[in-house]
Amino acid sequence: MTDRRLPVDWVARLRADIGNFPAVSSPPPDFARARALAEVMSVLYLEYLRYRPENPAWAGRDRLIFADRPAWPVYRALLYRLGVSPATVGGQVPEESTDTRLEPWPDMNLDPGVDFSCESAGAALAAGVGMAIGLRSVGRLPAGNGAPGPGVFVLLGLSELTCGRMWMAANHAGEQRLARLCVIVHHFLPARRPDGERPGAREQIQSAKFLEDRFRSFGWESVGVDGSRLDEIRYALDKFKKISPRPYVIIARTQGAGDV
């Protein structure tokens, strides 16, 4: 169990920041989806990830690839609130501004603290696998506190899982037994389907269980959690730190709070 803990009102403040982003942008944001990720991203960054806001390029940091594109406001708001990215919240950018760090979608070439720009669907896990293999090939870099070397975290939306090359990367990670690779799948259930019906929690759990089994078939350790419960998120991340040398996936189920 980590000694770091979330401030009591952190998640509420992060959700408030998410709502400050403009609704017109590219890619268009899904605010319900972004807010649903607030607990997962908060626990991950404030209690588990090793990083230094004052030195985003620190070699001993854990890497994070964020690839749930419709939920980008939570990533942007988190980097801002942690002091990693200097971009302002609210989108109040003069048209003549040349500060490209204020672009909505975080860019590894422009934004401090961003390890990969996910412009192509299905590429995120392949990039994460490459990072994990590269870090392993150069040996375990010192973390400064006796902890294992850097880990690689990849956060995926369900749309990423429809790409064949994503599963090719998953298979390769299993074959390589990449122990420091952790994937978090954001299994988001909207408040209503396009047909207006309200989806049931049972179908989400069944679908998540299918994903857990599929990753296991590729040689991964997998666990499903309620992505709105801090205790379950912590349990899954603690398990990743102690698991046998295999890649690890967390299926985080979340649900929209209402029509957006």
Least confident of 25-29, 204-208, 236-240: 25-29
CA 122 distance to own-chain centroid:
14
* pLDDT mean across residues, the chain: 80
Residue 191 has pLDDT above 70, yes or no: no
Which one is predicted more confidently, 33 or 241? 33
Taking CA atoms, 106 is separated from 31, 42, 47, 134, 200, in Å, by 16, 17, 22, 23, 33
Q: What's the CA gap between 205 and 235, in Å, rounded?
A: 18
Q: What's the CA gap between 16 and 36, in Å, rounded?
A: 12
Domains annotated on the chain, with CATH: 10-90+98-255 (3.40.50.970)
Helix 72-81 × helix 10-18 angle, to 10°: 120
Which one is predicted more confidently, 176 or 145? 176
Q: What is the pLDDT of residue 48?
A: 92
Residue 202 has pLDDT above 70, yes or no: no
Least confident of 6-20, 54-68, 108-122, 192-206: 192-206
Residue 2 has pLDDT above 60, yes or no: no
Give per-residue pLDDT as tens, 46-76.
Answer: 999 998 888 888 888 999 999 988 888 898 8
Encoded amino acid at 42, one letter:
S
Q: What is the 3-state secondary structure (H, E, C) of the chain?
A: CCCCCCCCCHHHHHHHHHCCCCCCCCCCCCHHHHHHCHHHHHHHHHHHCCCCCCCCCCCCCCEEEEECHHHHHHHHHHHHHCCCCCCCCCCCCCCCCCCHHHCCCCCCCCCCCCCCCCCCCCHHHHHHHHHHHHHHHCCCCCCCCCCCCCCEEEEEEHHHHHCHHHHHHHHHHHHHCCCCEEEEEEEEECCCCCCCCCCCHHHHHHHHHHHHHHHHHCCCEEEEEECCCHHHHHHHHHHHHHCCCCCEEEEEEEECCCCC
